[in-house]
Amino acid sequence: MTDQEKKYDVITYGRSSIDLYSQKVGSRFEEIPGFHAFVGGSPLNIAVGCSRLGLKASLLSGVGKDKVGDFLIHFLEEEKVITENVPVIEGARTSAVLLGIEPPDRFPLVYYRDNCADSQINIDHVLNAGIEKSRLLEVSGTALNIEPTRSAAFLAAEIARKNEIPVMLDLDFRADQWYDIRAFGITTRAFMRNVNIVLGTEEEILAAFLADKSQLVISHQQISAPEIKGDIDEAIRGILQLGVDALIVKTGSRGAVVYLPDGTVQKVPGFPVEVVNILGAGDAFAAGFIYGYLKGWDWYKCCRMGNACGAHVVTQLGCANFTPYEKEILAFIESRGGF
Amino acid sequence: MTDQEKKYDVITYGRSSIDLYSQKVGSRFEEIPGFHAFVGGSPLNIAVGCSRLGLKASLLSGVGKDKVGDFLIHFLEEEKVITENVPVIEGARTSAVLLGIEPPDRFPLVYYRDNCADSQINIDHVLNAGIEKSRLLEVSGTALNIEPTRSAAFLAAEIARKNEIPVMLDLDFRADQWYDIRAFGITTRAFMRNVNIVLGTEEEILAAFLADKSQLVISHQQISAPEIKGDIDEAIRGILQLGVDALIVKTGSRGAVVYLPDGTVQKVPGFPVEVVNILGAGDAFAAGFIYGYLKGWDWYKCCRMGNACGAHVVTQLGCANFTPYEKEILAFIESRGGF
Amino acid sequence: MTDQEKKYDVITYGRSSIDLYSQKVGSRFEEIPGFHAFVGGSPLNIAVGCSRLGLKASLLSGVGKDKVGDFLIHFLEEEKVITENVPVIEGARTSAVLLGIEPPDRFPLVYYRDNCADSQINIDHVLNAGIEKSRLLEVSGTALNIEPTRSAAFLAAEIARKNEIPVMLDLDFRADQWYDIRAFGITTRAFMRNVNIVLGTEEEILAAFLADKSQLVISHQQISAPEIKGDIDEAIRGILQLGVDALIVKTGSRGAVVYLPDGTVQKVPGFPVEVVNILGAGDAFAAGFIYGYLKGWDWYKCCRMGNACGAHVVTQLGCANFTPYEKEILAFIESRGGF
Amino acid sequence: MTDQEKKYDVITYGRSSIDLYSQKVGSRFEEIPGFHAFVGGSPLNIAVGCSRLGLKASLLSGVGKDKVGDFLIHFLEEEKVITENVPVIEGARTSAVLLGIEPPDRFPLVYYRDNCADSQINIDHVLNAGIEKSRLLEVSGTALNIEPTRSAAFLAAEIARKNEIPVMLDLDFRADQWYDIRAFGITTRAFMRNVNIVLGTEEEILAAFLADKSQLVISHQQISAPEIKGDIDEAIRGILQLGVDALIVKTGSRGAVVYLPDGTVQKVPGFPVEVVNILGAGDAFAAGFIYGYLKGWDWYKCCRMGNACGAHVVTQLGCANFTPYEKEILAFIESRGGF
């Protein structure tokens, strides 16, 4: 199957949720008067981001038989994300997240993921998803936390590799979603054997090699921004030894760094903007990166595109809802001096 | 212990949640732009309602170790509800509810109650709650749906009865919170053996005698407003035979009806108002009823007070957040011709 | 329906298991060379006991889709116990028990009851069991420990009462089968509201009023013989106040004691025999008692019949496998001076 | 650390149980009069087998706080297996298995493994097990079926590889221990990335590549002897491509076959004996093989030793209880013409 014949440019696998963002920036959580109704979940955000960039993006996730599920599907369809791989799971609930916004440094998250639908993606869903018809498979690390999604995700990566489809893992470390935080590293390290590109923040890369629970500290319920102790160089080497093509480290306003197994290290500068909310920036980066990767761009240019998309999102309150469209982001890059 | 010496006027037992109300009345759920952050859960609403009416009200419920829990506790403390019986439950999550508002007849509800904190109230929590120091115990039917709250609630009622403290059961039928909807009736019927006053809508009373699953229909995910087939007269007789002092049937704008074991039936008219949202009206009724009951009023006057409180809430969007204060509701009744 | 028209004389509800008895009496558990393959579970034992006494006995229990289930069904059919109410439960396992025999005072029990089939008896099984066609319903206290069997058992008792069928509760306290040992008492006390006859040992009656976990001590994993502190007189009064017709306390070799709500206390002497193994004696007692009760005998004579059956079983190693036949037990009583 | 300084020759990881063998060979399960009390579980059997052959063998497994756990520990200590890595797990139960013996072709198995202790081996147990002090790590495929043992086993293999300790995987396929039988292959294939030697029957190797549930048929509850359709050559190639040093296929009375990544295929003949019971033969093979492997023997001689041990066990009723001692098995091989 040639790329032109492929049904999907990208399948993103894992979390999807209604994301409820505090409407009062700076308010203590206890006093939030209301929430904007957005959507979220790393793979959902990336699918929307890719779709806005013009790619045929399919989300592989699950929703419950509930109105929140209808809300997600409605949004995805508006965004032209292909939803045929988002089954309605009987007896499970669509994920939800509540987010407080207290810049500069407090963004508490409350996950509603007990018995959630996107964890119920199973082997049959994967077999029916047509992974062999996609040009790339992107998997979220949280999709590996419990069964049945865990085995199903391992199978998805195997199918991709057998069909010579590149696999990207976004580490997506959410500490409270693992029965033992060290299981995150054990499981993602096993998974990386079938991965081409690993994406993560420095904290997430450290989390993938966490040996001692006391290395992790989470303050103010900021699940997406843990503090983790460890040796980042050793962790990076550890990942590169697992057979990946590249490790991309997202370093926030500083841009991204590419690490290759041959020892190459390449810093890719970001685009300076005024930060309103960093949530979703990493997913916008991933979408931009995938856009470039599928065009055959080199690592540097892929990351520049990712950085631009990330920069666009941090100026807004929300994730998928404010990821950029192809024309506007290319114009933005142009306006900032180009790639 | 005399009533004056009692620490609490009322303990309400069961659900507590953040209630997220659609900010766009009439909007399809799929297109809701945002949600007001209120609080809810029948026993929480009743506790707030009682507190605003001047009673010493203690909620017996649970919150997770999360920011939503902080949100609830903060609200309760602002409302002067006694929170010493709302423990933080490790490993569980504070309940949440999302509500769509599509008058006149669609109010879909999405409950986030898997592994929720208020279901983790246990025997020790009840033993430590000081039920013997309260003048009344109010229990929500949903608190009987799973362990450990179920056994704990049965124990709470036993302790109350042993100490000659009246027990009120608000049926609070939420179909999707039971593994088998018929277990609702089986369990509440067993519970009623230790109950003095049963409160419910006609649908809830029918639900308490549901023999066949097909008798229940829920449309548009309106969990709080199921359609149920059955013989209401037989159901009322069934409850009266279990040894209760009175059954109070809430009949919406028509007011309430009192049924007594001796065959007495007494209709208590409501107060006509313009309805914005019926959610929370039943809990306001319960608070008003309890207010009167603890003053020693007769059934009729208790229900009139309940009707007034319910009428007040239906003109607003929200539950506990808009339950009336003592002075304003007494003035309202006065202005409408008195009890 | 007259008694003659009834399909069953007795339905017994609850546990059923393969009981594996040490083949080396006196051996430490660690050195047991082999186990006799018997059957057990209080309601199964009682059903077999009743059948051997000539009654039409139906067991209401569950087996897994496994060879141990086949073993149980085969045994029951050999014993002419009606098995139509013993469904095969997909995804659950037939219960098993391993028993050490170290007379005079150590009989350790190891229960294999996680995800067991007899706990999966549900509301539909009860509705289909034809309880209204039985002359008596016997329920085991362990059948109340978890859902779905608990709600189903409460429903069974309700159906019996509505049809004026006497309900017998054998307390059957097995401490390790309850998430909190105090839930045993809370639940059985609620259940007794629909019970005519309560059967138990002194330890079980104390367990039904356990307020503090430290009151219970289990040594050498003797689940069926806990030591419990408490006030037995108060506990007996507590049960009699719940509306039962009679409380029968099994006192081992000393026989039984009948307690009635009117204050009557009647001691019924046992039959002195040489004790090999006390397991199963209580169930044989229950079978004998039911035999007499259905004949319309008075409490004394019912208990004498029960005592005789119990005495017969303690001379043997096993429960249901050695419960007496009608002729032999009547001859035994005759030989010991009659009722 | 040199081999001489190592604390253990081998750590075996996974199942341990009381194995209850029918005492009446040929009896239908329904009519079994009693059971011999043996022990079992592939890793336990291999540990005992290794210990009898003179190796320092440590079992890494778990037992419940129950008499069956005492039974296992007692047996292991008698056999000089090192038990310091067999923790007592609170709240879990020691595994049990009931086995029918109906030669020539029916050996039904009933596993009691719901909430079993050996599935509760966790990351801390593995970190404390001193894997780096062992000369070899043997892992059972069933130890990968659920959390926490699964993550813990993946970590164990990682630790071994980092310390250049060879890892052997015995596929140990038990279909009813997986929520989806295809998860067995997905998980073991991921695990094999850190494995040196894979051991299995042809059925188990097919199971590791099962794509369609209908390929598997289990008759007469013979969990250890499923029939599986598939392409065995493709499956063997699939395993060899995952980076293992060798795949050893156990072919019963025909002996074993060695497959190497370079395409080498070597058949190693067995020792003809009269078969009483094939259960445990594979584990005895593994023990013999490990014995040879740690002596530095070539694949052929390792397998011959394994074949001899297997042949010894099939003449007996039981697994670990009848695995051979070093001297007797070397004498047996000598008597049959040597390696």
Within 8 A of B190 by CB-CB distance, chain C residues are 154, 190-191, 193
Residue of C nearest to D71 (CA): C30
**Number of residues in chain A:** 339
Q: CB distance from D147 to chain A under 8 Å?
A: yes
Q: Tokens 């963004």: give the residue.
A: A107
Nearest Cα residue to C268 out of C280, C251, C281, C282: C251
CB within 8 Å: D154 and A190: yes
Within 8 A of D74 by CB-CB distance, chain C residues are 30-31
Interface test with B, best of A21, A24, A30, A93 (most B CBs within 10 A): A30
Q: CB distance from C146 to chain B under 8 Å?
A: yes
Nearest Cα residue to A213 out of A192, A177, A189, A183: A183
Residue of D nearest to A212 (CA): D124
pLDDT at residue D203 greater than cutoff 80: yes
Task: Please name the helix (run of DSSP H) or strand (run of DSSP E) that holds residue B258, with its range, or none.
Answer: strand B256-259
A212 near A230, Cβ under 8 Å? no
Give how far B22 is from chain C: nearest CA, Å.
36
pLDDT at residue D2 greater than cutoff 90: no
Interface test with D, best of A193, A194, A242 (most D CBs within 10 A): A193
In degrees and rounded to multiples of 5, residue A202 shows phi and psi of -60, -40
Non-local (6+) Cβ contacts of B163 within 8 A are: B131, B132
pLDDT of residue D23: 96
Task: Please name the helix (run of DSSP H) or strand (run of DSSP E) that holds residue B71, with its range, or none.
Answer: helix B67-78
Q: What is the pLDDT of residues D26-51, one digit of tens each?
A: 999 999 999 999 999 999 999 999 99
Which 185-224 residues of chain D touch chain A by CB within 8 A?
A: 186-187, 189-191, 193
pLDDT of residue D286: 98
Give how far C6 is from chain D: nearest CA, Å.
31
CB within 8 Å: A180 and D122: yes
Within 8 A of A187 by CB-CB distance, chain D residues are 151, 154
How many Cβ pairs closer than 8 A exist between chain A and D? 53
pLDDT of residue A244: 98
CB within 8 Å: C155 and B186: yes
CB within 8 Å: A66 and B110: yes
Q: Token pair of B176, please?
A: 């999707």
Calculate ∠ Cα A217-A218-A222, nearest 5°.
Answer: 155
Neighbouring chains of D at 3+ CB pairs within 8 Å?
A: A, C
Q: What is the pLDDT of residues B20-37, one digit of tens each?
A: 999 999 999 999 999 999
Within 8 A of B30 by CB-CB distance, chain A residues are 67, 70-71, 73-75
pLDDT of residue D332: 96
* Angle (deg, nearest 10), helices A326-335 and A299-314: 100
Q: What is the pLDDT of residues B261-283, one digit of tens each?
A: 999 999 999 999 988 888 899 99
pLDDT at residue C1 greater than cutoff 80: no
Q: What's the DSSP call for residue C171? A: -
Q: What is the pLDDT of residues C310-328, one digit of tens each?
A: 999 998 877 788 999 999 9
* Closest Cβ–Cβ partner in B70, B108, B115 for A29: B70
* pLDDT interval class at C46 (50, 70, 90): very high
pLDDT of residue B175: 94
pLDDT at residue C106 greater than cutoff 90: no
pLDDT of residue C275: 86
Reduced to 3 states, what is the DSSP secondary structure of residue B338?
Answer: coil
Within 8 A of B20 by CB-CB distance, chain A residues are 20, 35
CA distance D334 to D305: 11
Q: What is the pLDDT of residues B45-75, one digit of tens each?
A: 999 999 999 999 999 999 999 999 999 999 9
> Kind of pairing, strands A34-40 and B34-40?
antiparallel
pLDDT of residue C68: 98
Non-local (6+) Cβ contacts of C318 within 8 A are: C19, C21, C36, C38, C277, C279, C280
- The domain ranges of chain B are 3-15+117-335
DSSP letters, D222-263, are -TTS-EE-S-HHHHHHHHHTTT-SEEEEE-GGG-EEEE-TTS
Q: What is the pLDDT of residues B119-161, one digit of tens each?
A: 999 999 999 999 999 999 999 999 999 999 999 999 999 999 9
Q: CB distance from A93 to chain B under 8 Å?
A: yes
- CB-side neighbour CA atoms (13 Å) of D62: 24
CB atoms within 10 A of CB A338: 8
* Angle (deg, nearest 10), helices C149-162 and B181-191: 60
CB within 8 Å: C67 and D112: no
Q: Token pair of C116, please?
A: 């067991």
CA distance B48 to B74: 13
Which residues of D117-219 form beta strands (DSSP E)? 137-140, 167-170, 197-201, 216-217
Q: What is the pLDDT of residues D280-321, one digit of tens each?
A: 999 999 999 999 999 999 999 999 999 999 999 998 877 788
Q: Token pair of A266, please?
A: 């390449």
Q: Which of A51-65, A313-327, D253-267 has the lowest mean pLDDT?
A: A313-327
pLDDT at residue D105 greater than cutoff 80: no
pLDDT at residue C226 greater than cutoff 90: no
Strand order, beta sheet including A167-170: A57-60, A10-13, A137-140, A167-170, A197-201, A246-250, A256-259, A265-268
Q: Which of D31-45, D108-122, D235-249, D268-282 has the lowest mean pLDDT?
A: D268-282
pLDDT at residue A185 greater than cutoff 90: yes
pLDDT of residue B167: 98
CB within 8 Å: A67 and B31: no
At least 3 CB pairs under 8 A between chains B and D: no
- What's the mean per-residue pLDDT of chain A? 95
Whole-structure pTM value: 0.96
Q: Token pair of B333, please?
A: 């009744």
Q: What is the pLDDT of residues B291-314, one digit of tens each?
A: 999 999 999 999 999 999 999 999
CB within 8 Å: D110 and C94: yes
Q: What percent of chain C has pLDDT over 70?
A: 100
Q: How far is CA B7 from CA B82, B137, B138, B163, in A?
A: 10, 13, 15, 14
Residue of A nearest to B93 (CA): A112
D306 near D285, Cβ under 8 Å? yes
pLDDT of residue A219: 81
pLDDT at residue A275 greater than cutoff 90: no
Calculate ∠ Cα A311-A314-A317, nearest 5°.
Answer: 150
* Closest Cβ–Cβ partner in D30, D37, D68 for C33: D37
CB atoms within 10 A of CB A108: 24
pLDDT of residue B227: 87
Nearest Cα residue to B164 out of B127, B123, B131: B131
* pLDDT interval class at D106 (50, 70, 90): confident
The 3-class SS string of chain A reads CCCCCCCECEEEECCCEEEEEECCCCCCHHHCCEEEEEEECHHHHHHHHHHHCCCCEEEECCEECCHHHHHHHHHHHHCCCECCCCCEECCCECEEEEECCECCCECCEEEECCCEHHHHCCHHHHHHCCHHHECCEEEEHHHHCCCCHHHHHHHHHHHHHHCCCCEEEECCCCHHHCCCHHHHHHHHHHHHHHCCEEEEEHHHHHHCCCCCHHHEECCCCCCCCCEECCCHHHHHHHHHCCCCCEEEEECHHHCEEEECCCCCEEEECCCCCCCCCCCCHHHHHHHHHHHHHHHCCCHHHHHHHHHHHHHHHHCCCCCHHHCCCHHHHHHHHHHCCCC
pLDDT at residue B105 greater than cutoff 80: no
Nearest Cα residue to C190 out of C147, C153, C229, C149: C153
Residue of B nearest to A95 (CA): B112
Give how far D218 is from chain C: nearest CA, Å.
12
pLDDT of residue D80: 98
Q: Cα-atom radius of gyration of chain A, to the nearest Å?
A: 18
> Kind of pairing, strands D10-13 and D57-60?
parallel
CB within 8 Å: A154 and D186: yes
CB within 8 Å: C34 and D33: no
pLDDT of residue D250: 97
Q: Token pair of B172, please?
A: 């609070």
Q: How far is CA B121 from CA A44, A62, A277, C58, in A?
A: 36, 31, 37, 38
pLDDT at residue A133 greater than cutoff 80: yes
CB within 8 Å: C70 and D36: no
CB within 8 Å: A96 and B94: no
Give how far C143 is from chain B: nearest CA, Å.
15
Reduced to 3 states, what is the DSSP secondary structure of residue D320?
Answer: helix
Q: What is the pLDDT of residues B219-262, one digit of tens each?
A: 877 877 788 989 999 999 999 999 999 999 999 989 999 999 99
CB within 8 Å: B186 and C122: no
> Kind of pairing, strands A17-22 and A95-99?
parallel
Within 8 A of A29 by CB-CB distance, chain B residues are 67-68, 70-71
Interface test with B, best of C119, C127, C147, C189 (most B CBs within 10 A): C147
CB within 8 Å: D35 and C33: no
pLDDT at residue C4 greater than cutoff 90: no
CB within 8 Å: D191 and A186: no
- Architecture of the A3-15+117-335 domain: 3-Layer(aba) Sandwich (3.40)
Interface test with B, best of C125, C182, C210 (most B CBs within 10 A): C182
* Closest Cβ–Cβ partner in B151, B179, B183 for C183: B151
Residue of B nearest to C191 (CA): B190
Within 8 A of A221 by CB-CB distance, chain B residues are 66-67
* pLDDT interval class at A225 (50, 70, 90): confident
* pLDDT interval class at B43 (50, 70, 90): very high
CB within 8 Å: A68 and B98: yes
pLDDT of residue A218: 83
CA distance C278 to C37: 17
Q: Token pair of D278, please?
A: 């094939």
Q: Token pair of B54, please?
A: 């001047």
CA–chain centroid gap for B40, Å, is 10
Q: How far is CA C128 from CA C131, C145, C152, in A?
A: 8, 22, 11
CB within 8 Å: A191 and D186: no
Within 8 A of D193 by CB-CB distance, chain A residues are 190, 193
pLDDT of residue C258: 98
pLDDT of residue A339: 92
* pLDDT interval class at B93 (50, 70, 90): very high
Interface test with D, best of A122, A125, A147 (most D CBs within 10 A): A147
Interface test with A, best of B18, B68, B76 (most A CBs within 10 A): B68
Within 8 A of B182 by CB-CB distance, chain C residues are 123, 151, 155
Q: What percent of chain D has pLDDT over 90?
A: 86
D148 near D120, Cβ under 8 Å? yes
CB within 8 Å: C29 and D108: no
CA distance D9 to D57: 6
